[in-house]
Amino acid sequence: MAETNKGLIAAILFATLAVTGSLVFLGIQISNSSSLSETTLAAKINEGIQQFVQDQQDAQKPVLEIDSKLVAPINKNDHIYGDKDAPISLIEYSDFLCPYCYQFHDTAKQIVDDSNGQVNWIFRHFPLGSHDPEATMSAIASECIAEELGEEPFWTYSKTLFDNRANLSHENLIALGTNMGANEATLTKCIDNEDHNDKVQANIKNGIEVGVSGTPGNILINHENNKAIRVSGAQPIEAFNEVISSLKE
């Protein structure tokens, strides 16, 4: 299962209208040209419609191979659980208020723990608009914790956020952080100034580029052969193990 933006249906309708409008515009432009026959025009319009339909169908597939070049390269700013040099990465685009992300959090950890160093887990932010402002604020807070306390506390705080996802108010985000040893004034300033919002927005942008429309959105990538597969939702661990096996082929 995956949680999606409530605006997804509206976005699809908008896109449909946009495509329709574009086709009408195309028809007007082409009608002014005597070099294009009605048959060719019809073929081009049909081609555009078919491509749009295919794009929508691909977006709904739970498992789909994608171009690995679309995935933002893993870098020093990423949060990595497991061996940094593992040949396969599970890149998760997640939202701390998402119940399916909460369910998947332990699954992702188990995948890495059971992989004998073959898989690592990259956590990236994808706060849904329907969960804002708390979702984005929580993502920023987790980055503030990482900056002040380090990588291991980031993972601990992330698990704490999922466990407390029913109440991720500004006050509670700070309380949960200070309970871990964060300085209250430093954490408050970091959250209020949205110090890490650029990183959060960059994660969202790349998630959209690789076709993520709901959470958790997952990309499994083999760094040795550059094969990449998108797995949507909190699928069972068996499904991920099958994808990992296929990436090695």
pLDDT tens, residue by residue, 48-92? 555 444 444 444 456 899 999 999 999 999 999 999 999 999 999
Per-residue pLDDT band at 9 (split at 50, 70, 90): very low
The helix/strand/coil state of 236 is coil
Beta-carbon contacts of 192 under 8 Å, excluding residues fewer than 6 positions away, are: none
Asked if 239 and 68 count as a contact pair (C-beta separation under 8 A), the reply is no
pLDDT of residue 249: 83
Provide DSSP, 175-229. Answer: HHHHTTT--HHHHHHHHHTTTTHHHHHHHHHHHHHTT--EESEEEEEETTT-EEE
Q: What is the 3-state secondary structure (H, E, C) of 118-183?
A: CEEEEEEECCCHHHCCHHHHHHHHHHHHHHHHCHHHHHHHHHHHHHCCCCCCHHHHHHHHHCCCCC
pLDDT of residue 42: 64
Separation between Cα atoms, residue 131 and residue 129, nearest integer Å:
5
Per-residue pLDDT band at 143 (split at 50, 70, 90): very high
Mean pLDDT over the full length of the chain: 86
Separation between Cα atoms, residue 82 and residue 95, nearest integer Å:
21
Beta-carbon contacts of 137 under 8 Å, excluding residues fewer than 6 positions away, are: 168, 170, 173, 191
pLDDT tens, residue by residue, 205-246? 999 999 999 999 999 999 999 999 999 999 999 999 999 999
Residue 38: pLDDT over 50: yes
Q: Give the other-Cβ count within 10 Å of 30's Cβ.
A: 16
The helix/strand/coil state of 3 is strand
Q: Where are the domains of the chain?
A: 3-60, 68-247
% of the chain with per-residue pLDDT over 90: 74
Q: Give the other-Cβ count within 10 Å of 6's Cβ.
A: 11
- Architecture of domain 68-247 in this structure: 3-Layer(aba) Sandwich (3.40)
Helices 38-60 and 8-31: angle between axes, nearest 10 degrees: 170
